[in-house]
Amino acid sequence: MLIAAGYAGGAAALVEQVLDRERGSVQERAALAIEMDAALALLEGVARAIGPETDDESVAQVLVARYTVQKALPKIAAQALELLGGLDFILGSAHGQAAAAVHALAFHPPGRGAAAEPLLRYFDGGPLVLS
């Protein structure tokens, strides 16, 4: 959960730059801000909902949030880069590096492929066994 939140923070910084600089149309900025806020709200909601004990339901909720955010962040970061524009990319590499970095969330275990079958068993009423 904390790792996903860290990567989300990187994408949120890019979105903040778009909003601060008023890049793109009002509709584009609003759509980007909504997607970012939804990802952050999902992470926060799950963090608030899970209890202190590690049970199957809590782990499943964390994984669902993580994989959903993992899928959303590259799109959000790419859109933010596009709205920041080519000159921003030419003048410095920080935004490009931040946008590229969000892809690394996919490399943290457990990977989506490895968790697919255990999650399906859990959603079908079985225990969540990640091994």
If DSSP states are collapsed to H, E and C, what string results for 66-110? HHHHHHHHHHHHHHHHHHHCHHHHHHCCHHHHHHHHHHHHHHCCC
Contact 99/80 with Cβ under 8 angstroms?
A: yes
Question: Which string of b and e fits 13-42 if b means at least 16 CB within 10 Å?
Answer: ebbebbbeeebbeeeebeebbebbeebbeb
Residue 91 pLDDT: 64
3-state secondary structure 19-62: HHHCCCCHHHHHHHHHHHHHHHHHHHHHHHHCCCCCCHHHHHHH
Q: What does each of the 131 residues of the chain score in pLDDT, given as a tens digit?
A: 999 999 999 999 999 999 999 999 999 999 999 999 999 999 999 999 997 878 999 999 999 999 999 999 999 999 999 999 866 666 667 788 888 899 999 999 999 999 999 999 999 999 999 98
Residue 85 pLDDT: 84
pTM score above 0.85: yes
Dump pLDDT digits (tens) for 89-114. 666 677 888 888 999 999 999 999 99
